[in-house]
């Protein structure tokens, strides 16, 4: 798997995507990101660029910060 930060982001993305009623395919289509790459993002296997964070947030009609709210446990005390 990827880093704890990427995994946390992926978990947030998946939760918000499902809450908004999007399939991975729909999110991929509307964002212009390949569906397999959306899956990798949700599994925390890739490090997403700031541009893609804003693009995904725009498609999901949420704030970019909502996708990165949760910090991995080890980072809370750094």
Asked if 68 contacts 53 with a C-beta cutoff of 8 angstroms, the reply is: yes
How far is it, in rounded angstroms, from Cα 53 to Cα 75? 20
How far is it, in rounded angstroms, from Cα 43 to Cα 40? 5
How far is it, in rounded angstroms, from Cα 13 to Cα 19? 10
Q: How far is CA 51 from the centre of its chain?
A: 12
4-67 CATH, one of 1.10.260.40, 3.40.50.10240, 1.20.1370.10, 3.20.20.70: 1.10.260.40
- In order along its 78 residues, the chain shows pLDDT tens digits of 678 889 999 999 999 999 999 999 999 999 999 999 999 999 999 999 999 999 999 999 999 999 997 655 544 444
């Amino acid at each position: 798997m990827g880093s704890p930060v990427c995994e946390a982001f992926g978990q947030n993305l998946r939760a918000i995507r499902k809450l908004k009623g999007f399939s991975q395919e729909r999110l991929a289509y509307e964002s212009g990101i390949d569906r397999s790459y959306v899956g990798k993002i949700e599994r925390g296997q890739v490090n997403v660029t700031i541009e893609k964070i804003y693009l995904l947030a725009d498609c999901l009609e949420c704030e970019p910060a909502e996708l990165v709210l949760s910090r991995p446990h080890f980072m809370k005390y750094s």
